[in-house]
């Protein structure tokens, strides 16, 4: 599998997103899934144009904006995919009882680990590969991301069809195809995570500057 990923990374380095997804579908079949934060449905729309019925994993942390939950429900209703709602082993109330209130403020890395990373590990277990909407320009940590990669921590193939896209390309794809977008995006939230750790971004600022503001944190841990 690791050699397969390395070969595909070379073969598909300059390939269009649809071709990358088609390769993943043909290679992994029903052992392939998508993950989505529900900031928009670009990756869901792209994948569903290639193959209907793919599983879409959504991490329901218990801290999401109502608009994000609404976007998840709309994606499930509109697109020919199977949305799977994944929750942590503890509710927010149970976590606060065990670890104290506002863990997201005191130790955001641990909170992300418990409410995102660990649930995702469990959810990905039935699959050999997963499709993400990661793009190189989003953060410095993602700048060397390839279209296809081997994920050594999870021992599976990670497929990033729009890794080379700019935000302008994303916006154009949304406009051209009428893709569903979380309404918060149009209210100054270009990168959306938990409501507890996401702030509105001023026009022209780094789109991810509203995430974990003041903590120095730029990633939840899923993609690093």
Annotated catalytic residues are: 220
- In the three-class reduction of DSSP (H, G, I as helix; E, B as strand; rest coil), residue 88 is classed as coil
User: Would you say the C-alpha torsion 182, 151, 209, 166 has a positive or negative sign?
Assistant: negative
Other Cβ atoms within 10 Å of 176 Cβ, number? 8
Closest CA to 220 of 186, 189, 192, 190: 192
Task: Give me 26's structure tokens.
Answer: 């043909």
User: Side by side, which strands form the sheet with 82-86?
Assistant: 82-86, 55-59, 32-35, 129-131, 156-159, 148-151
């Amino acid at each position: 599998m690791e050699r397969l990923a390395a070969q595909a990374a070379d073969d598909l380095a300059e390939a269009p997103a649809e071709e990358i997804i088609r390769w993943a579908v043909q290679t992994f079949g029903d052992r392939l899934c998508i993950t989505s934060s529900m900031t928009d449905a670009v990756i869901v729309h792209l994948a569903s144009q290639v193959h209907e019925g793919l599983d879409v994993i959504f991490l329901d942390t218990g801290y999401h904006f109502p608009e994000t939950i609404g976007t998840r429900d709309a994606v499930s209703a509109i697109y020919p995919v199977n949305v799977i709602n994944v929750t942590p082993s503890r509710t927010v109330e149970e976590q606060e009882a065990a670890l104290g209130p506002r863990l997201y403020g005191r130790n955001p890395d641990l909170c992300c680990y418990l409410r995102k990373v660990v649930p995702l590990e469990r959810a990905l277990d039935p699959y050999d590969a997963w499709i993400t909407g990661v793009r190189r320009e989003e953060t410095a940590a993602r700048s060397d991301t390839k279209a296809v990669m081997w994920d050594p921590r999870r021992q599976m193939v990670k497929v990033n069809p729009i890794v080379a896209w700019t935000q302008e390309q994303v916006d154009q794809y949304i406009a051209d195809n009428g893709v569903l977008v979380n309404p918060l995006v149009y209210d100054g939230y270009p990168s959306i995570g938990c409501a507890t750790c996401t702030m509105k971004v001023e026009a022209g600022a780094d789109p991810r500057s509203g995430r974990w503001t003041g903590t120095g944190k730029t990633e939840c841990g899923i993609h690093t």
